[in-house]
């Protein structure tokens, strides 16, 4: 089989839908903030909270040392060995400016621990520098060092009066201490613009609720009510405020507005709404609400865990005013994560956990964000600390197994999945994930066996099951069990008829085997029509044309693929072959050399090296053409 169909080239085969954060739809903002246009909301959040945007651009701020009586010594930074327990990606330096630069380097390397350590070290030498204070409190907050972060945020309010974020963070800290009046006073000069267009009304509302002023609390959010992108947020929090105030007649209409809107319903909204219904002797309606949500999220480990906890009476999503404010912080975190502003999202998640230390979703989100930043060891520690009693324990264990694979702790990952498969005899996720583990090790037969066991647990095939059938097909094809693989791909397509990954893989496999040539080409063309900017799928079309003998067409498509994925060795190799066939020999040699420089898969390396050494397309290569 051509290396063109390596698993990496086809993309990672998706497992059954499983949550990556709040629930499996975090990519669609499925949190209490769902329904808001993420392109607007998330960007506002990201720009408003990052230190560079808190009260002015970095370039306009005083340089480190500017606030001191004596100018700092700016010299070649001298690296300090084993400084401050920094994670290791950023060097630490002795001078103020050196520490600042080290903090910046750590920041750009997604090393918030290193950023916090270096900014704090710089502050020790220049304690009243607004720039350093701003960056230090922010990254201390990101790392969950709450007492230090809060102390510096309070100092920032004095030295950096233009900041629109530090007062809000300080107010949340005061609310956590039950100092509701002080918290409200802290917010008095803030304007509801940018980030604060919704976060300020929400925070103010929950602080007023802390003073037992429900009507004033809901009124504080009035500016959000008539804005379509903020209305779901208004209704959800108004419902919770009325609920906590024992006003069910006012709470339920607000909840209903969110629960009946498919664009804004979330797992958290379902949990809060179902809990309300059960407490008011409306259990059948609560069960129906969960059933409706489960039907639209089949296979979600997190949704099933939430349903199990609801049935067991364990879930109490809203217990206090602090819980409500924690929901506001958590919702902000999930939305900012959508914009890939991971440090900012961490800051909100840490505030949520400060307010509610046993908030399982915020706890899981912290681990997810660490993983997205490539901080796998830190993510593993975060996940491993989740107690078995937590509602999120099952999905978190699945995530921990994935992280262990990233850390090459394969046997630990395998043990977790084996244990979960035993402890949850009806769950397919541990087995489909075991298939992924074996696939990564190129244990094709073992991977196929695991996928088949997962399929057995799934029961009657349904649309949501196509990923595991697709994964099974890949494992079988790579294991040279083509007839079984073909049937698995056909089953996947019968469940999701226009799925581009399946169309692409099956179509190419047919052409590569000299069978169903026109039908295979048509499948790939359907995939390209859906994903015209996917370099891998465009490459498949180009290589299919090559195998069919249409060399000019192959060059056209492969040149387009190379513009989409210029650093892929396989595409460069394919383009070289096609260029040779149309007489563009010097260009072909260049593409082969580029393919070699890009470190191709081991199975491709020998063939590419041979072509470069010979300076031409070899006879075995020129004969590569599909036969009817």
List Cβ neighbours of 218 (8 Å cut-off, separation of 6 or more).
205, 238, 241, 242
* Predicted local distance difference test score (pLDDT) of residue 341: 84
Rg of the chain (C-alpha set):
28
CA distance 487 to 224: 53
pTM of the model: 0.80
Q: Quick check: 436 and 467 in contact, CB under 8 A? A: no
* Predicted local distance difference test score (pLDDT) of residue 279: 94
Residue 40 has pLDDT above 50, yes or no: no
Residue 373 has pLDDT above 70, yes or no: yes
* Predicted local distance difference test score (pLDDT) of residue 276: 96
DSSP letter at 560 equals H
Residue 282 has pLDDT above 70, yes or no: yes
Q: Is residue 622 very low, low, confident or very high in pLDDT (cuts 50, 70, 90)?
A: low
Cβ-count burial 161-189 (b if 16+ within 10 Å, e if not) = eebbbbbbbbbbbbbbeebbeebbebbee
Q: What is the mean pLDDT of residues 478-483?
A: 96
pLDDT digits (tens, 9 = 90+) for 42-100: 444 444 444 433 333 333 333 344 333 333 332 223 333 233 334 444 444 568 888 99
Residue 193 has pLDDT above 50, yes or no: yes
Q: Is residue 267 very low, low, confident or very high in pLDDT (cuts 50, 70, 90)?
A: very high
* Predicted local distance difference test score (pLDDT) of residue 451: 98
Q: Is residue 12 very low, low, confident or very high in pLDDT (cuts 50, 70, 90)?
A: very low
Domains by residue range for the chain, with CATH: 25-54+195-290+317-373 (1.25.40), 57-163 (1.25.40.10), 498-628 (1.25.40.10)
pLDDT digits (tens, 9 = 90+) for 100-111: 999 999 988 889
* Predicted local distance difference test score (pLDDT) of residue 455: 97
Closest CA to 505 of 464, 462, 463, 476: 476
Average of per-residue pLDDT values in the chain:
84
Distances (CA, A) of 345 to 53, 194, 349, 442, 475: 15, 16, 6, 36, 37
Residue 15 has pLDDT above 90, yes or no: no
* Predicted local distance difference test score (pLDDT) of residue 548: 93
Q: What is the mean pLDDT of residues 338-360?
A: 92
Q: Is residue 615 very low, low, confident or very high in pLDDT (cuts 50, 70, 90)?
A: confident
* Predicted local distance difference test score (pLDDT) of residue 94: 61
Note the helical H segments in 565-601: 569-581, 585-597
Helix (H, G, I), strand (E, B) or coil at 378: helix
Query: Torsions phi, psi of 79, nearest 5?
Result: -70, 140
223-237, 308-322, 608-622: least confident range: 608-622
Residue 524 has pLDDT above 60, yes or no: yes
Closest CA to 541 of 490, 580, 499, 504: 504
Q: What percentage of the chain has pLDDT greater than the value 90?
A: 68
Q: Is residue 261 very low, low, confident or very high in pLDDT (cuts 50, 70, 90)?
A: confident
32-36, 140-144, 171-175, 347-351: least confident range: 32-36
* Predicted local distance difference test score (pLDDT) of residue 50: 45
Closest CA to 336 of 45, 35, 105: 45
Count of CA atoms in the C-beta half-sphere (13 A) of 517: 13
* Predicted local distance difference test score (pLDDT) of residue 523: 97
* Predicted local distance difference test score (pLDDT) of residue 192: 84
Q: What percentage of the chain has pLDDT greater than the value 70?
A: 83
Distances (CA, A) of 453 to 449, 536, 592: 6, 30, 42
pLDDT digits (tens, 9 = 90+) for 421-446: 999 999 999 999 999 999 999 999 99
């Amino acid at each position: 089989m051509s290396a063109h169909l390596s698993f990496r080239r086809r993309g990672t085969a998706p497992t059954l839908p499983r949550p990556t954060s709040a629930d499996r739809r975090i990519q669609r903002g499925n949190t209490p903030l769902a329904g808001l246009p993420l392109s607007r909301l998330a960007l506002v959040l990201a720009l408003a909270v990052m230190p560079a945007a808190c009260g002015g651009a970095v370039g306009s701020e005083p340089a480190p040392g500017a606030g001191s009586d004596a100018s700092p010594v700016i010299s070649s930074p001298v690296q300090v060995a084993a400084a401050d327990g920094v994670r290791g990606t950023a060097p630490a330096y002795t001078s103020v400016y050196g520490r600042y630069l080290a903090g910046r380097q750590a920041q750009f390397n997604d090393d918030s621990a290193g950023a916090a350590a270096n900014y704090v070290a710089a502050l020790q030498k220049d304690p009243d520098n607004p720039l350093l204070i701003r960056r230090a409190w922010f990254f201390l907050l990101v790392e969950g060092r709450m007492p230090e972060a809060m102390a510096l945020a309070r100092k920032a309010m004095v030295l950096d009066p233009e900041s629109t974020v530090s007062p809000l963070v300080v107010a949340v800290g005061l609310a956590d201490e039950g100092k509701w009046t002080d918290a409200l006073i802290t917010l008095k000069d803030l304007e509801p613009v940018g980030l604060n267009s919704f976060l300020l009304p929400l925070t103010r509302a929950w602080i007023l609720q802390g003073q037992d002023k429900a009507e004033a609390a809901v009124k504080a959010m009035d500016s959000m009510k008539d804005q379509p992108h903020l209305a779901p947020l208004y209704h959800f929090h108004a419902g919770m405020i009325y609920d906590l105030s024992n006003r069910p007649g006012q709470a339920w209409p607000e909840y209903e507005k969110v629960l009946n809107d498919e664009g804004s319903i979330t797992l958290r909204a379902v949990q809060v709404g179902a809990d309300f219904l059960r407490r008011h002797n409306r259990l059948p309606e609560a069960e129906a609400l969960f059933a409706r949500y489960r039907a639209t999220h089949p296979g979600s480990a997190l949704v099933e865990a939430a349903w199990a906890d609801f049935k067991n009476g364990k879930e109490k999503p809203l217990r206090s005013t602090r819980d409500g404010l924690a929901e506001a912080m958590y919702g902000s975190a999930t939305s900012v994560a959508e914009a890939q502003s991971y440090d900012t999202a961490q800051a909100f998640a840490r505030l949520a956990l400060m307010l509610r230390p046993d908030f399982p979703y915020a706890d899981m989100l912290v681990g997810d964000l660490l993983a997205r930043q490539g901080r796998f060891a830190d993510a593993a520690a975060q996940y491993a600390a989740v107690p078995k009693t937590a509602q999120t324990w099952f999905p978190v264990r699945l995530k921990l197994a994935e992280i262990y694979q990233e850390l090459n702790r394969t046997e630990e990952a395998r043990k977790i999945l084996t244990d979960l498969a035993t402890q949850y005899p009806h769950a397919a996720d541990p087995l489909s994930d075991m298939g992924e583990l074996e696939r990564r090790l190129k244990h094709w037969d073992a991977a196929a066996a695991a996928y088949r066991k997962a399929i057995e647990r799934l029961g009657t095939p349904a649309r949501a099951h196509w990923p595991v059938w697709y994964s099974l097909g890949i494992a079988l094809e790579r294991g040279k069990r083509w007839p079984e693989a073909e049937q698995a791909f056909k089953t996947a397509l019968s469940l999701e008829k226009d799925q581009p990954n399946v169309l692409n893989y099956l179509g190419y496999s047919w052409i590569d085997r000299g069978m169903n040539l026109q039908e295979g080409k048509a499948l790939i063309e359907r995939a390209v029509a859906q994903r015209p900017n996917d370099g891998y799928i465009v490459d498949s079309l180009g290589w299919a044309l090559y195998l069919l003998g249409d060399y000019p067409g192959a060059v056209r498509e492969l040149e387009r693929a190379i513009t989409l994925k210029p650093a892929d060795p396989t595409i460069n190799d394919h383009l070289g072959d096609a260029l040779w066939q149309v007489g563009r020999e010097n260009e072909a040699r260049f593409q082969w050399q580029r393919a070699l420089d890009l470190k191709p898969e081991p199975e491709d390396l020998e063939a590419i090296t041979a072509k470069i050494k010979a300076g031409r397309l070899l006879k075995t290569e020129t004969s590569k053409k599909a036969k009817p």
